[in-house]
Structure 1
Amino acid sequence: MDFMTYISENALILIPALYIVGMIIRGTESIPNKFIPFILLIIGITSAMFLLGFSVNSAIQGVLVTGAAVYTNQLFKQYNKRE
């Protein structure tokens, strides 16, 4: 199942944007890494609602793009992991 089919084309721009925001937050020492996905979720839902309009579908799009951004980060981490 390809979950990218569920993400609206208009919301795809949020995936790299959230990824970059996550990397910026990760660079700050004051925020623990365990809180980054929650912060990105709030930013993702808010951004999707402003981009797509205030609706339940927009909130769902925000959750999906945040999941894709966090998943992408995890893919890079696992790929670069040395065993």
Structure 2
Amino acid sequence: MDIMNFVLEQNLIIIGVVYVLGVFLKNLKMIEDKFIPFILLVFAIVFSLLTADISTTEKVAKGVMQGILITGAAVLGNQMWKQSTKKRIPDDRKEDAGA
């Protein structure tokens, strides 16, 4: 299942905005890393509601769900990049490294 099938086309740009915001927050030493995903979630929900027609409760709920999906895509993309570029210690050197 591809998460991108569920994110509305108009909200795809918000994924990039949330990602850049996450990088900015990560570089701020004032905010602990554990709070960054929650801050990104709030921003993504607000951004998705601003781009949506929020005339009914159902449309507000869809906007909130879009914000959650946007945050998921941005954070998942970041983690996939980090994990794929992370240098690995070969098995024979793990003992030397104290692992």
TM-score by length of 2: 0.81
Aligned twin of 1:9 = 9
SS in 1 for 2:73: helix
TM-aligned CA deviation for residue 3 of structure 1: 1.9
TM-aligned CA deviation for residue 53 of structure 1: 2.9
1:80 has 2:85 as partner: yes
1:20 has 2:20 as partner: yes
TM-aligned CA deviation for residue 25 of structure 1: 0.3
TM-aligned CA deviation for residue 52 of structure 1: 1.2
Q: Pick the aligned partner of 1:70 from 72, 75, 84.
A: 75
Q: Distance in 2 between matches of 1:43 and 1:53?
A: 17
SS in 1 for 2:67: helix
Q: Distance in 2 between matches of 1:9 and 1:30?
A: 34
* The structure with more radius of gyration: 2
SS in 2 for 1:46: helix
TM-aligned CA deviation for residue 79 of structure 1: 1.2
TM-score by length of 1: 0.96
In the TM superposition, structure 1's runs of 4+ consecutive aligned residues that sit over 4 Å from their partners are none
Give ranges in structure 2 of 5+ residues lacking alignment. Answer: 55-59, 89-99
CA RMSD in angstroms comes to 0.8
What percentage of aligned pairs have identical amino acids? 39
Give the letter for the 1:44 counterpart.
Answer: A
